[in-house]
Amino acid sequence: MGVEPGGGVLTGADDQVSRRGFLSEALKLLAREAGGLLAEQMAPRRHFRPPGALPEPAFLAACTRCGYCVEACPVGAIVTAPSSAGLAAATPVIIPETEPCIACDGMFCATVCPTGALVAPSDGWARERLGFLDLDTDRCIAFQGIECGVCVRVCPIGPAALDLDAKGRPVIGAACVGCGVCVRACVTSPSSLTLTLNER
C-alpha cells in the first residue's frame, strides 16, 4: 500500500496504477527530449535568424515562408534563404556582413509574424542573442596603438554591449546581441569582428 498526496491510503492496485502513470509520463518526457535532440541534429541552425526565432526544428516547422518579416524590416536586413539551403529554403535569414540587423526597438519582424515562428520577447533585447561576437585582437588596429573606435560608435545597443577600455581598445560586453553592425563597420579587411551562430 502507498499514501496518496492528500494523505489517503492507496491499495496495491492503485499503487501500481500510480507507478505506471508516473513511468508513462517519464517515458513520454524522455521521448520528447530525445526527439528534440534528434531534430536538432537533423536540422541544425546554419543561418542567422531574425530576432525571436524559435529553436531551428520548431522554426522550420512553424515558418510558412510568407515574407511578412522580410517586408517589415526597416533596413532590409532580412532576406530569404536560397533554394540550395535545403530545409531552410525560402525562410528568413540575416547576412550580417551584407546587411546587419540594427536591433530596432520595435522588433517589427517578430511582431508581424503570423505563425509564431518569430516571437518578440517580452523583455525586448535584454536576453535576445542573434549570434556571438568575437574580436581578433591581432587584426584590430586599436591593439596596435592606432586610434579607431568605429565599432563602438556604430553599436546600436551602446557601451553595455561594446565599449572602449582605457587604452581605446574595444571590449565586448554582456549586453551584445550579436546584430553584426560592428562587423560590417570594422575598418580592417577582413573584419576584426566576427559572429558565430546562436545555435538555440
pLDDT tens-digit readout, 70-82: 999 999 999 999 9
What is the reported pLDDT for 95? 95
Please report how many Cα atoms fall inside a 13 Å half-sphere around the Cα of residue 160, on the Cβ side: 8
Q: What is the pLDDT of residue 200?
A: 55
**Phi, psi values for residue 139, rounded to 5°:** -95, -35
* pLDDT for residue 31: 40
Confidence bin at 28 (pLDDT 50/70/90) = very low
Please give the pLDDT value at position 39. Answer: 43
Q: Which three cell numbers stand for residue 89?
A: 529554403
Mean pLDDT of the chain: 86
pLDDT of residue 134: 97
CB of 52 closer than 8 Å to CB of 119: yes
Q: Record the pTM.
A: 0.76
> Is the confidence at residue 154, as pLDDT, over 80?
yes
- What three-state secondary structure class fits 184? helix
What does the alpha-carbon distance between residue 88 and residue 1 come to, in Å, rounded to a whole number?
Answer: 54
Range of lowest pLDDT (40-49, 60-69, 107-116, 182-191): 40-49
At position 193, the amino acid (one-letter code) is L
Give pLDDT, residue 101: 98
Cβ-contact 198, 130 below 8 angstroms: yes
Supply the pLDDT for residue 198.
75
Residue with cell 546581441: 177
Which of 130, 126, 136, 135 shows the shortest CA–CA distance to 162? Answer: 135
Interval 83-132: pLDDT, tens: 999 999 999 999 999 999 999 999 999 999 999 999 999 999 999 999 99
Residue 22 has pLDDT above 90, yes or no: no
Say whether pLDDT at 167 is over 80. Answer: yes
> Which CA distances in Å does 100 have to 31, 75, 105?
38, 8, 15
pLDDT at 34: 41
Residues composing the chain: 200
